[in-house]
């Protein structure tokens, strides 16, 4: 959880914490971390696929906090987001 919230070894955090020094998490941050944990542990989606999908949603759909505001789906290989009534494979789009 700390790695996803604070980053590590020059890698940027996956979420935007309420405050980074000292690390303070908001309720929305806890939701984002929970969703990320479910995606990784329960569904086994690889982190690069998650990162690609999050980047796609932030860049193309212009959503700032996709883990807390978008509905994602997975086939346990790729990570999809609904756009204009169709599922887009964000894992391949990132």
Token representation of residue 52:
């690609």
CA distance readout (Å), 62 to 27, 38, 59, 69: 22, 23, 5, 11
d(CA 43, CA 76): 5
For residue 78, give the H/E element and its range.
none
The domain tally of the chain equals 1
Q: Which domain holds residue 83?
A: 2-93
Q: Would you write out the chain's pLDDT as a tens digit for each of its 94 residues?
A: 888 888 888 778 888 899 988 999 999 999 999 999 988 888 888 888 788 788 888 887 788 888 888 888 888 777 787 777 778 777 665 4
Tell me the whole-structure pTM to 2 decimals: 0.78
């Amino acid at each position: 959880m700390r790695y996803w919230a604070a980053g590590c070894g020059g890698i940027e955090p996956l979420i935007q914490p309420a405050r980074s020094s000292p690390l303070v998490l908001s309720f929305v941050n806890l939701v984002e971390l929970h969703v990320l944990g479910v995606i990784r542990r329960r569904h086994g989606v690889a982190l690069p696929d998650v990162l690609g999908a999050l980047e796609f949603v932030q860049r193309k759909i212009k959503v700032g906090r996709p883990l807390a505001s978008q509905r994602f789906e997975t086939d346990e290989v790729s990570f999809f987001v609904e756009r204009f009534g169709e599922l887009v494979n964000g894992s391949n789009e990132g």
